Amino acid sequence: MSDVTIRGLNKRYGQTQVLHDIDLDIPSGEFVVLLGPSGCGKSTLLRCISGLESITSGGLMIEGRRANDIPARKRGVAMVFQSYALYPHMTVRENMAYGLKLRKMEKAKIDATVNGAAERLQLTPFLDRLPKALSGGQRQRVAIGRAIVQDPKLFLFDEPLSNLDASLRVQMRIEIAQIHRQLSQTTMIYVTHDQVEAMTMADRIVVLEGGHIRQVGKPLDLYRRPNSLFVAGFIGSPKMNFITGPMAQSRGAATIGVRPEALDVTDPTDAEISGEIVHSEELGAFTFLYIKGADDAEPMVVQQPGQTSYSEGTVVGLRPVPEEIHRFGTDGNRLGEGDPEIRTAN
């Protein structure tokens, strides 16, 4: 039930500025993912919102109230930490009841709330265990449970899944998405550097780089229309292929970008690009081909559906799907659409 509004937020540690003029509006009930490479300031931004870190300048409003000077414990915000941060000397039940006891909730109501949350998170059998007797996934669920029972307006997650193995991560991703659906009134801000997590969970993604917001948008909007080389390269896996030189210039751009799935493999003689297959990865559902031209520094990645019969060393041509070409200027920003040059090249 919370609008979060951030206006011109700056964060400085002494001389080093970590966040630069952050502007962001988050409507109630939205699931926002802060995405960016390591060290870009995601955690710092989250901690500024939580109140664990002070804001150097700029405004933070939660539910229309200026929150800069409200202490963390009074912001109505719950947070799930990367390391879970479960209290090691308390049982699962005590961990979850801790905040409720502090709020002087009646004993019976605490029990009901904790039991309810435990049931929802399948933690009932573990309620009387200490955290050290739980698996990573169970600990993570306790951490989430401890936040849920607070019934927060705003839910913050700082890379909650990064300590889990791949399959558990997928499972927890789905669970968190379900929790968000159930708590549809609760705003959630989720930090990750994993773009798959971001794409699958977010209503909107905020891409950060070096303490600046680079782009904000729905996952597929970012995927379809990245507004800069950075966002284009960061979102999507494998990475978008970037091409400079005459081929880009002929389309009126400094750099063009083509996603791996937007490249068709053709005969080398009638293609604009040609190269040798240096490596291929067969995943069953797809095959990734790494194709390197004579003077390319890095191979281009092509995603082919299903299993392919190309063998390494074969020379092939590549043709980008014309509507799927992203054009970027010399400053790295996206160029306007509907440009005639794309059609002539077509």
Ligand X SMILES: Nc1ncnc2c1ncn2[C@@H]1O[C@H](COP(=O)(O)OP(=O)(O)OP(=O)(O)O)[C@@H](O)[C@H]1O
What residues line the site for other proteins (CB under 8 A)? Answer: 50, 52, 72-74, 77-79, 81, 83, 85-89, 98-99, 102-103, 146, 150
Residue 86 CA to its chain's centroid (Å) = 24
DSSP annotation of 18 reads: E
Closest to other proteins by CB, 86 or 243: 86
Task: Report d(CA 171, CA 176) in Å as an integer.
Answer: 9
- The DSSP string of 180-211 is HHHTTTSEEEEEES-HHHHHHH-SEEEEEETT
Q: Could you say whether residue 311 binds ligand X (CB under 6 A)?
A: no
Q: Could you say whether residue 291 binds ligand X (CB under 6 A)?
A: no
Among 9, 26, 35, 40, which residue interacts with ligand X (rule: CB under 6 A)? Answer: 40
Q: Could you say whether residue 43 binds ligand X (CB under 6 A)?
A: yes
The footprint of ligand X on this chain (CB under 6 A) covers a number of residues equal to 12
Q: Could you say whether residue 327 binds ligand X (CB under 6 A)?
A: no
In the window 114-173, what residues touch Mg ion (CB under 5 A)?
Answer: none
Among 43, 150, 195, 287, which residue interacts with Mg ion (rule: CB under 5 A)? Answer: 43
Phi and psi of 23, rounded to 5°?
A: -120, 125
Q: Could you say whether residue 287 binds ligand X (CB under 6 A)?
A: no
Closest to Mg ion by CB, 18 or 24: 18
Q: Give me the residue whose beta carbon is nearest to Mg ion.
A: 43
Closest to other proteins by CB, 102 or 278: 102
250 binds, among other proteins, ligand X, Mg ion, none (CB under 5 to 8 A by kind): none
Q: Could you say whether residue 195 binds ligand X (CB under 6 A)?
A: no
Q: How far is the CB of 159 from Mg ion (least distance, A)?
A: 6
Helix runs in 82-216, H state only: 92-102, 107-120, 136-148, 166-182, 195-201
Closest to ligand X by CB, 15 or 309: 15
Q: How far is the CB of 42 from ligand X (least distance, A)?
A: 4
Q: Could you say whether residue 39 binds ligand X (CB under 6 A)?
A: yes
Closest to other proteins by CB, 113 or 150: 150
Q: Give me the residue whose beta carbon is nearest to ligand X.
A: 43
User: What order do you get walking across the sheet with 65-66 strand by strand?
Assistant: 16-26, 4-13, 57-62, 65-66
Closest to other proteins by CB, 78 or 134: 78
Radius of gyration, CA atoms only, the chain: 24
**Of 44, 51, 90, which is closest to residue 69 (Cα–Cα)?**
51
Among 193, 251, 259, 334, which residue interacts with ligand X (rule: CB under 6 A)? Answer: 193
Closest to ligand X by CB, 161 or 289: 161
Closest to other proteins by CB, 93 or 259: 93
Closest to Mg ion by CB, 30 or 159: 159
Q: How far is the CB of 42 from other proteins (least distance, A)?
A: 16
DSSP annotation of 52 reads: S
Q: How far is the CB of 333 from other proteins (least distance, A)?
A: 38
**Of 104, 322, 76, 85, which is closest to residue 186 (Cα–Cα)?**
76
Residues 266, 273: contact at Cβ < 8 Å?
no
> Residue 318 carries which side chain, given as an amino acid letter?
L
Which part of the chain contacts ligand X (CB under 6 A), choosing from 39-47, 90-98, 130-138, 242-250?
39-47
Task: Report d(CA 86, CA 248) in Å as an integer.
Answer: 53
**Of 242, 325, 329, which is closest to residue 338 (Cα–Cα)?**
325
Binding site for Mg ion (CB under 5 A): 43
Binding site for ligand X (CB under 6 A): 13, 16, 18, 36, 38-44, 193
